[in-house]
Amino acid sequence: MIELVRVSQKYTYKEVLKDVTFTAEKGQITCLLGLNGAGKSTILKTIMGLTPIHGGSIRIDGEEINQNTYERVSYIPDHLAIPASMKLSDALRFMEDFYSCWNKDRANELMRFFDLDLDERAGRLSKGTAAKFNLVLGLAQDSDYVIMDEPFAGIDLFNRERIAEVFSSELVGNRGVLLTTHEVKEVEYLIDKAVLLRDGVVARSFECEQVRSEESKSVVDVMKEVLLT
């Protein structure tokens, strides 16, 4: 379980996150929803230790962030963080070199699933292809959790569907997924749990099926209700 308790962050006196508390369970897909600038990406970055927090605590299966965290939680940022000159095959070797949890077979499977070319250079990929390769790098790790920042942003419809398929597939398997998106429709049926953020505060967090059966509301409905009022 990824657990955030009263996490706060300031950036030169501006509060970016305020008392953010939520959990993302293993075997579940949890989605951070909110408008741009609500603090979604920042939360993911705090979990990965890419930006400091000024209050509260973050624990992953009860442990604070340390270097082993990165073997257990794979992070897929909103861009392909691979030098432009690197060939995809080099990038895969790079990952294999550093991660003991790297699963070469799964990497190959993913490369086939997304129909990617090993000889292409990272800098020459189209946005959609880069996003797919980015998923390969994250999902080929035998990690317990996968954290994805805006996996659908700027991707065309066809590629979006291909990416959405990954969530229900064996490629994600029984891992815990935590993702951010502002394209709720894309994930309406994919997610177990939604955490709505507004101006760095958790406005509401809920189980999607529960809201559908108890309030007859869709995730989009709740989001509109909470964020636009």
Partner 1 sequence: MNRYLKLVHLEVHRFRYALFSLMFLTAAIQITGLVHTTQVRVKGWREAARLGEHSTRNFSFADVIGDLQFLFAIPILISIVVLGLYVFLIWYRDWIGRDKFAYRLFTLPTVRRNVYMAKATAIFVFVFAMVSFQLLMLLLERQLFNWMVPSEYRMSSLFAEAVASNLVFVRFLLPLDGIQFVVYYGIGILAVFVLFTAVLLERSYRLPGIVYAILYVAVCGAAIGGAVYLNLYNYFYPREITAIRFCIYLMVMGFTLTLGFRLVSKKITV
Partner 2 sequence: MNKVNEWAGITFNSRDPVYAQVVRLFKEKIVTGVIQSGQTIPSRRELAALLKINPNTAQRAYKEMEDQRLIVTEGNSPSRITLELDVLRQIRAELLGTAVEAFVATIRNIDVPLDELLDVIQQKYTEAQAGKRQEPPEAPFESGEGGNNDD
Please tell me the distance from the alpha carbon of residue 198 to that of residue 37, in angstroms, as a whole number.
9
Residue 108 binds what, of partner 1, partner 2, none (CB under 5 to 8 Å, by partner type)?
Answer: none
Please tell me the distance from the alpha carbon of residue 164 to that of residue 151, in angstroms, as a whole number.
9
Stretch that binds partner 2, among 64-72, 78-86, 93-101, 159-167 (CB under 8 A): 159-167
Q: Which is nearer to partner 2, 145 or 167 (CB)?
A: 167
Q: Does 81 bind partner 1 (CB under 8 A)?
A: yes
Kindly give, in sequence order, each residue whose CB lies less than 8 Å from that of residue 103, ignoring residues fewer than 6 positions away. Answer: 140, 141, 142
Q: Which is nearer to partner 2, 28 or 103 (CB)?
A: 28
Stretch that binds partner 2, among 12-20, 24-32, 51-59, 139-147 (CB under 8 A): 24-32
Three-class DSSP category at 194: strand
Both tokens of residue 105?
């077979």
Residue of 197, 190, 200 lying closest to 223 (CA atoms): 197
Stretch that binds partner 2, among 73-81, 88-96, 184-192, 198-206 (CB under 8 A): 184-192
| Per-residue contact string for residues 210-229; x = within reach of partner 2 by CB under 8 A | --xx--xxxxxx--------
In the complex, least distance from residue 51 CB atom to partner 1, rounded to whole angstroms: 4
| Per-residue contact string for residues 12-51; x = within reach of partner 1 by CB under 8 A | x--------------------------------x--xxxx
Give the burial string for 51-69 (b: 16+ CB within 10 Å, else e): bebeebebebeeeebeeeb
In the complex, least distance from residue 5 CB atom to partner 1, rounded to whole angstroms: 18
State the chain's maximal CA–CA distance in angstroms: 52
Three-class DSSP category at 156: coil
Interface positions with partner 1 (CB under 8 A): 12, 45, 48-52, 67-71, 75, 77, 79-84, 94, 97-101, 122-123
